[in-house]
Structure 1
C-alpha cells in the first residue's frame, strides 16, 4: 500500500477516536460534582443569574440536544465564551497555542539531539565505563522532577551566571530559541533519559543481526553500517516511545510554562482551573487531545518512512 493509502487508513481508524474525544470533552462540564452553574457563580447567585448562565451554556436543554449543539459549535470553530476573561475561548487558545507548540517542538528536537549520539556511544561501548556512566545518568535524570531541574537551571544559568533569561517568550525566531532554551532543555532531559535507554537497547540488539555481519563482510565502514543499517532499524521502537511521550509533553507543559512564565496553553489552563473557567478548560482539553492525535498520525507516517514493512 502506498503512503497515501496508508495515511487514509490511519485517518479512518481515528474517526472513532475523534468521536470519543468529543464525548469526553462534552461530558467534562456536565459531570462536575454538583451544579456547575452554582460552582461558577457562587452560592450567592440570584435565580435570574443562574437561569441566564444555564441558557448561555445550553444546560437547560436535554443532554442529547446539548451534544448536538456542541458538535455544531465545534464545526464552526466556536469553543464558547471564557467566563474569566470574557473573550471567545477560540481567540485566547489561538493566541497561546504557538508558545506551547514552540516549547514542545523545541524540547523534542533537543531530546533527539541528546539521545542519538549518547545512545550510539553507550551501545558501542556496552558494559564499559562510558556505558555505565550514561545509563547511570539517565536513571538520575528520571529520578529528578522536571520542575526541580527547571528551578536549578533558573538559579544557576539565569540568576547566577545571567546567561539565559528567567522568563518570557521573546520575539522572532532567534530570540525565541534563546528564551525557550532553558525550559525546553528542562523538558528534553527527562524525555531523552527514556529515549537513550530504549535506543541503546535497540542498537545492541540490532548489532547482533545477520545483515550487520553481511554489511561488514562487504567492507562497509562502521560509520556507514551504524547510520544506514543499525540506527535505522533501531529507531523503529524508539519512534513509538517518542510519539507517546510527546503526547504527554503536550499536556505536561502546565508546570514548565508556569515556572518560566511562558504565555502558553499550559499556563492558561492552570489559571482557568483556578478561576473555575470551565468553558476555557474544556476548550484547551479539546485542543490538547487533537494535538495528541496529530502526533500519533505523524508517528505512523514516520514508521512508514523508517520501516517499509509498515506499509504492507
Structure 2
C-alpha cells in the first residue's frame, strides 16, 4: 500500500500538465494560475506536499480534497464504491461458476472433445481486450436481444434491476479472468486425480462423486485460489475499464475523469483504496488456504 501510494504520488507529478491551468482554462493569466497553485499548495516543494499527503491519510483517512470540486476524496470514493465493489463481487462469482464446472468436465472427459474445447476456447478469450468483450456483450444481449440494459445502473426497481444492470459488466470481467483459472484448476485436478490416495479411495469403493468433490476438488483448489488472489489486481483494473464501456458512474469513471483533469488527490485516493482492497482479499485468500489445507496452519 505504501509503495502504490508513493509511486502514484510522484508519477502524477512527473507527467506533464498543470492542474491549475486545466482548472482555469487556456485563457487564464499567468498571475491567476500562480495564485491558484499557491492556494492549492502546488507551489510547495515535493517533500512538503508528500509529507502533508501522508499526514492527511493518517489523520482524515483520505488523500485530501478534490482540486476541481473541493469535496473530500473519501466522500467521492465512498459514494461510487458500492457499484464498483458490486461488479467485482459479481465478476468473481461468475468466474468461479465458469471455472469449476468447465475444469471438472474437462478432467472427467480427458482428451475428449470437451477437454479440447475447454483448453482451446479459454486460450482464444485470453487475447480479447476487456472493452471489446464488453462491446460484444452489449451488441448481442442488450441491443439485439434486449435482455439487459445497454449501460448505466438502474436507480429504481429494487435489487433485481440493480443486479440485472451489473450483470453484463461483471460477465465481461469474468470472461477475461476465467481462462487462466480454468487452465490452472484443470492441471491441478489431473495431478490430484492421478495421486495414490485417489487410487486407494477407489479401491475402498468410495463413490466417484464423493472422491471428486470431497477430495480431488479440495486438493486442487489451493493453487487456483492463490492464482485468483494474485489476479485480483487484474480484476479491479478490468472493472475500472469496463465501467467506462458501460457508462457506469463508479470508481473507474471517477478515475478517468480525475486523470483528465489532473485531480491529484482523487487519483491518489482511488489508488489507495484499490491497494487496500488487494491487501484485504489477499489476506482472506491466505485464511481460506489455511482452512483448505491444515498443513498451512502448523507452526514451523
Return the alpha-carbon distance in structure 2 between the equivalents of residues 34 and 166 of structure 1.
34
Aligned residue-pair number: 295
Q: Which residue of 2 aligns with 1:193?
A: 179
Return the alpha-carbon distance in structure 2 between the equivalents of residues 127 and 160 of structure 1.
36
Gaps of 5+ in 2: none
Moved beyond 6 Å, runs of 4+: none
Give how far 1:267 is off: 1.3
Cα deviation code 1:160-190 (max 9, x no counterpart): 1111111122244322211111111111112
Q: Which residue of 1 aligns with 2:138?
A: 154
Q: Does the 8 A contact of 1:247 with 1:291 survive in 2?
A: no
Q: Does the 8 A contact of 2:99 with 2:181 survive in 1?
A: yes
Cα deviation code 1:93-132 (max 9, x no counterpart): 1111111100011001000011101100101211111101
User: TM-score when scaled to structure 1?
Assistant: 0.87
Q: Which residue of 2 aligns with 1:80?
A: 64
Counterpart of 2:49 (choices 51, 66, 69) is 66
Q: Which residue of 1 aligns with 2:113?
A: 129
- SS across alignment from 2:126: helix
- SS across alignment from 1:143: coil
Return the alpha-carbon distance in structure 2 between the equivalents of residues 56 and 214 of structure 1.
74
User: TM-score when scaled to structure 2?
Assistant: 0.90
**Taking structure 1 as reference, are residues 166 and 87 closer, same or farther at Cα in structure 2, changes over 3 Å only?**
same
RMSD: 2.1
Return the alpha-carbon distance in structure 1 between the equivalents of residues 275 and 105 of structure 2.
36
Give how far 1:283 is off: 1.5
Gaps of 5+ in 1: 1-17
**Taking structure 1 as reference, are residues 232 and 277 closer, same or farther at Cα in structure 2, changes over 3 Å only?**
same
Q: Does the 8 A contact of 1:104 with 1:246 survive in 2?
A: no
Q: Which residue of 1 aligns with 2:8?
A: 25
Q: Which residue of 1 aligns with 2:198?
A: 212
Q: How does 1:5-154 map to 2 (within 5 A)?
A: 18-33=1-16, 37-38=20-21, 41=24, 45-75=28-58, 76-154=60-138
Q: Does the 8 A contact of 1:54 with 1:60 survive in 2?
A: yes
**Residue 245 in structure 1 maps to residue 228 in structure 2:** no
Q: Which residue of 1 aligns with 2:221?
A: 235
Return the alpha-carbon distance in structure 2 between the equivalents of residues 277 and 26 of structure 1.
11
**Taking structure 1 as reference, are residues 113 and 34 closer, same or farther at Cα in structure 2, changes over 3 Å only?**
closer
Return the alpha-carbon distance in structure 2 between the equivalents of residues 175 and 261 of structure 1.
16
